[in-house]
Chains A and B, each alone.
Chain A
Amino acid sequence: MSDLASRSAAPSGADRAAGARRGWRPWRLLARLNGPQTLGRGPAFWGGFVIVCMLVGIYPLFSDGWTVGNTAYFFTWTFMAMGLCVIWGYAGALSFGQTAFFGLSGYAYGVLTLNIGSAYGFTFLALAIGVGMSALLALLLGYFLFYGRISGVFLGIVTLSVTLVFETFMAQTAGPEWTIGSARLNGFNGMTGMPPLTLPWFDGELVLWPDIPLYYLLMGMVIVCYLALRIFVNSRFGNVLVAIRENPDRAETLGYDIRRYQLGAFIVGSSLAGLSGVLYTAWGQYITPNSMGLYAAALPIVWVAVGGRSDLTATLIGTLAVLWVFQTLTIYGSQYALVVMGALLLVTVLFAPRGLVLGLVDLAGWASGRLRRNGPASGQEDA
């Protein structure tokens, strides 16, 4: 060993900036699509990914309009699930109140578009503003939470309280005095009548009703979001998030201000919850206080836990599967749907604590003898 103790412990800001400049290469970003924090790598995985994308792409050609629109509805929720996966699964902070951001952005989209309309692509600006409002709320709330060193179950209690306060407040806005411009908040019945996402299209407009165009837009957004989050969690920032999840004291004593990293993850995850809120509102042209209630707040936890909270792919697959099962159950026996969801969560916690999708992956790996007895742990050469 030579010279192990010769470097200063604290590199200057200029050193780090120079290092960052040296490291800024597009292929470095793309390389982070594969990494120790995400399931799947290599030609087999990405070949399968392309095939799945192609199948999802041609699916509307073989399905009816209602089913395509309904699948688009499933897509709207995946952003909130992936965001919660980042906050909970990667950063280790269980937020029980992601629906607060969902509702805030949804209502913001409604108020803006009911007042200004959909001309000149304004609905997309409203989408951006709605998501930005969630990011701002996450910055404010997260600052007090993480810089106040709130963690564990208390973080869940505070975030759940926030969403329940939002729900309670919006539920009492039924009177005519609760109007913003021409948008009535409408209390417990919720706000309706806002335009769907609308694109300027040659001489007219392309209105994205819950049908094929919206399906393709949402499919593209899900793919882009999934790939971007893979890069994010496999980045240096993502490495620190995982370190905080595993051992926050150790992460801090490696020189990281863990509050900043937790706040960053919270803002990213909450913005995605806001994105879900806007897309949901635009999809159905309504938003109600129920979307921020206890029942609504619990569902993302179930989706993410059942799929596998510590991996984006598992979360995405699990969320779509659970949404489909839940909707089917609701259609054929609404009174039992939530009970079955609770049972599913219990079974997952007891028999596949890493989640059903990751549990199946582990099982397949064990059966083929390709994974080590206690699960994968890669990382070499990913630096």
Chain B
Amino acid sequence: MAILETRALEKNFGGVFVARAINFEMQPGEIHCLIGPNGAGKSSFFRLILGQHQPSAGTIWFDGQEITPLKSFQRIRLGISVKFQVPGIFKALSVWQNLEIGLQYHMQGDSLSAEIRQVLDFIELTDQATERAGNLSHGQQQWLEIGMAMSVKPKLLLLDEPTAGMSPQETAKTGEMVRTLNAEGMSILAVEHDMTFVRQIAQQVTVLHFGEIFAQGTIDQIVADERVAKIYLGKTNEA
């Protein structure tokens, strides 16, 4: 049974399609990357999965259950979590509070504190626990949001450009984090432009173009696809 499936999913804004007849399937335990040119509909696809956009047609299934009519918070409670493209952290609050607010739904007291420390250690922000989140570097803010998203132990973690604005070292570290989470059973769907990062983590890749699935396959298959190179990379493999 697929962890995530969309059937003939469509969304249009006044006739402009951001998703057109998308039949997408992702297996449990997979790291799946969505790539495509700007405006291909990747972030809109995330918003449809999260319930922030209602589809014009089609259905969305999560872990065998149709979630199309559910509100955003109800989908999250089923086991979906997200890291937004622009860091969606609580900038005026401390790093600790950011994680506490995410985790307090699941636990409290000493176990909550212990879990927060464990997540802080994982995202390497232990020393910044009492810092205002808005004072962190961009990369640290990205990690904090990944920490918030993964701390609720989702079955499916959506990452929208998790390495945007990161240095190569930070990008590599983020890749390690993603692979660690995946190794512990978390399915991960990531939108990413950085092909080095995609190569580092992706087991399956889907290429979106004008709101449609343009190609699907392993990273090697996608990189070898001349049509993808043309629309996405702006060149052919021979070039």
Is A4 a contact partner of B150 (Cβ separation < 8 A)?
yes
Proximity string of chain B (131-174) to chain A, C-beta cutoff 8 Å, 1 when within and 0 when not: 11111000000000000101011110000000000000000000
How many residues of A are in contact with the other chain, CB < 8 A?
41
Check if B105 is an interface residue, CB within 8 A of chain A.
yes
Check if B7 is an interface residue, CB within 8 A of chain A.
no
Expressed in whole angstroms, the Cα–Cα distance for A125 and B98 within the complex equals 42
Proximity string of chain B (66-87) to chain A, C-beta cutoff 8 Å, 1 when within and 0 when not: 0000011100111111101000
Report A-chain residues with C-beta under 8 Å of the C-beta of B108. Answer: 19, 22-23, 236, 383
Check if B185 is an interface residue, CB within 8 A of chain A.
yes
> Known interface pairs A240-B101, A257-B73, A380-B129. Does A5 touch B150 (Cβ–Cβ under 8 Å)?
yes
CB of B153, distance to nearest CB on chain A (Å): 4
Among A1, A236, A240, A378, the residue within 8 A (CB) of B130 is: A378
Expressed in whole angstroms, the Cα–Cα distance for A242 and B94 within the complex equals 12
> Known interface pairs A242-B90, A255-B73, A256-B73. Does A380 touch B79 (Cβ–Cβ under 8 Å)?
no
B-contacting residues, A369-383, CB 8 Å: 372, 374-375, 377-383
Report A-chain residues with C-beta under 8 Å of the C-beta of B101. Answer: 239-240, 242-243, 251, 254
Expressed in whole angstroms, the Cα–Cα distance for A22 and B102 within the complex equals 20
CB of A8, distance to nearest CB on chain B (Å): 7
Check if A253 is an interface residue, CB within 8 A of chain B.
yes
Report A-chain residues with C-beta under 8 Å of the C-beta of B71. Answer: 257
> Known interface pairs A8-B79, A10-B77, A257-B73. Does A374 touch B134 (Cβ–Cβ under 8 Å)?
yes
Expressed in whole angstroms, the Cα–Cα distance for A348 and B52 within the complex equals 37
Which of B30-38, B114-122, B198-206 lies on the face that meets chain A?
Answer: B114-122
Is B112 a contact partner of A5 (Cβ separation < 8 A)?
no
Is B119 a contact partner of A4 (Cβ separation < 8 A)?
yes
Proximity string of chain A (344-383) to chain B, C-beta cutoff 8 Å, 1 when within and 0 when not: 0000000000000000000000000000101101111111
Expressed in whole angstroms, the Cα–Cα distance for A119 and B232 within the complex equals 82
Check if A252 is an interface residue, CB within 8 A of chain B.
yes
Is A6 a contact partner of B129 (Cβ separation < 8 A)?
no
Report B-chain residues with C-beta under 8 Å of the C-beta of A258. Answer: 73
Check if A11 is an interface residue, CB within 8 A of chain B.
yes
How many residues of B are in contact with the other chain, CB < 8 A?
56
Check if B89 is an interface residue, CB within 8 A of chain A.
yes
Check if B195 is an interface residue, CB within 8 A of chain A.
no
Report B-chain residues with C-beta under 8 Å of the C-beta of A243. Answer: 90, 93, 101
Residue in A closest to B104 when the chains form the complex, CB atoms: A236
B-contacting residues, A110-129, CB 8 Å: none
Is A379 a contact partner of B96 (Cβ separation < 8 A)?
yes
Expressed in whole angstroms, the Cα–Cα distance for A84 and B34 within the complex equals 45
Among B90, B104, B180, the residue within 8 A (CB) of A246 is: B90
Chain A interface residues toward B at CB < 8 A: 1, 3-11, 19, 22-23, 36, 236, 239-240, 242-243, 246-247, 249-258, 372, 374-375, 377-383
- What would 10 more interface pairs be, CB under 8 Å, given A4-B153, A380-B96? A1-B180, A3-B184, A4-B119, A5-B185, A246-B90, A256-B105, A377-B132, A380-B94, A381-B113, A383-B104
16 pairs, A vs B, C-beta closer than 8 Å: A4-B122, A8-B153, A11-B105, A36-B93, A236-B104, A239-B101, A247-B88, A250-B148, A253-B82, A253-B84, A372-B132, A377-B132, A377-B133, A377-B135, A382-B96, A383-B113
